[in-house]
Amino acid sequence: MIIVKNIEELLKHTKNLDSVGFVPTMGALHQGHLSLIKRARDENRTVIVSIFVNPTQFLEGEDLDKYPRRDLADIEICKRADVDILFMPTVESIYFEDELRVEAPAIRGFILEGSRRAGHFNGVLQVVMKLFNIILFNRPKSLRAYFGKKDAQQLALISQMVKDYFLNVDIIPCEIVRDSSGLALSSRNAYLSADEVKEALAISRSLKRASKLVMQGVLDTSTIEREMRDVMKNLDIEYIAFVNRDFKKIETIELKNSTILVACIVGETRLIDNIWI
């Protein structure tokens, strides 16, 4: 595995590539990331993983400084997962002074995550567009980029960016990975105490409850939401939302075209989860 810290170095190692699988991450890798890397490994000649805690997607007062950083462990994980190139750029190599910015559309960018975290998605799109272009710079034959469904809104916006700006990248959505108790894996789970982990389980339980209701034929979202709130009655719920794959809000579940999303605060940690129905 080659570890590169800046773009010039990366470009030396990306000449004449055939199929490339790219997994952009913020590090603190867990089984969720690993599932993306494994799939990238299965489907491509070259696997590139990036680790970059992107400052522009953290808002004032958010956890940029305390965001978990575990470079040595991450490097080991990538080595064992047979990653070809691990790209760990410095902030200075990605960002310049007085930059052009990308602005997420209001309709998908400033609801839910984007409403509580105004500007968050602008930063996500900015860095993902840069990273895609860096990997595309030397014209690989194909580029597939792997994203978890856990960040469903992010995934929808990145897919839209690829379409709106004609980027020749295949976005591959990957299943949410959960621990044995059902908790969706997240780097931010590291912030949770043992008690908080137990409390947090109500989130995935509420989504399972929702899924069961849908299977029983309950498609009305307000009924489903009521039952979900009941399951999460001890949690500080930020939102429960029902959207179609286009990320437009729905009143009635459309089978194979709906996502139910939850955001909660557990202790001081904000957790999100969702289910695709």
- Residue 159 and residue 157: Cα distance in Å, rounded? 5
Secondary structure class of 147 (helix, strand, coil):
strand
* CB closer to a second copy out of 108 and 150: 108
Residue 91 touching a second copy (CB under 8 A): no
Residues 92-111, interacting with a second copy (CB under 8 A)? 96, 98-109
Smallest distance from the beta carbon of 45 to a second copy, in angstroms? 16
Question: Which residues are CB-contacts of 62 (< 8 A; sequence separation ≥ 6)?
Answer: 117
Count of beta carbons in the 10 Å neighbourhood of residue 30: 17
Token digits of residue 272: 């999100």
Q: 72 vs 100, which CB is nearer to a second copy? A: 100
Minimum CB–partner distance for residue 131 and a second copy (Å): 9
Applying CB under 8 A, which of residues 4, 26, 167, 231 lies at the interface with a second copy? 167
Stretch that binds a second copy, among 57-65, 79-87, 156-164, 233-241 (CB under 8 A): 156-164
The gap between the terminal CA atoms of the chain, to the nearest Å, is 38
Measured in whole angstroms, how far is the alpha carbon of residue 251 from the centre of its chain? 25
Q: Is the dihedral of CA 183, 185, 189, 190 positive or negative?
A: positive
Nearer to a second copy, 130 or 149 (CB): 130
What token pair was written down for 238? 């930020």
| Residue 249 touches a second copy, criterion: CB under 8 A | no
Radius of gyration of the chain (CA): 19
Closest CA to 206 of 177, 247, 234, 244: 234
* Contacts of residue 182, Cβ cutoff 8 Å, sequence gap at least 6: 201, 204, 205, 208
Q: Cβ closer to a second copy: 62 or 103?
A: 103
Q: Give yes or no for residue 164 binding a second copy (CB under 8 A).
A: yes
**CB of 76 or CB of 99, closer to a second copy:** 99
- Pick the piece of the chain touching a second copy (CB under 8 A) from 75-83, 153-161, 195-203, 266-274: 153-161
194 binds a second copy (CB under 8 A): no
State in angstroms the smallest separation of the CB of 102 from a second copy. Answer: 6
Nearest to 200 by CA among 251, 263, 248: 263
Which residues are designated catalytic?
Answer: 33
Tell me if 160 contacts a second copy by CB under 8 A: yes
Burial of 173 (0-12, 13-18, 19+ CB in 10 A): middle
Q: Tokens for 156?
A: 């929808």
Residues 1, 3, 6, 7: which binds a second copy (CB under 8 A)?
A: 7
Q: Check binding of 214 to a second copy (CB under 8 A).
A: no
Question: x-or-dash pattern for a second copy, window 133-152, by CB under 8 A?
Answer: xx-xxxxxx-----------
> DSSP secondary-structure letter at 68?
-
Q: Which of 157, 171, 224, 263 binds a second copy (CB under 8 A)?
A: 157
Question: By the criterion CB under 8 A, which residues form the site for a second copy?
Answer: 7, 96, 98-109, 125, 129-130, 133-134, 136-141, 157, 160-161, 163-168
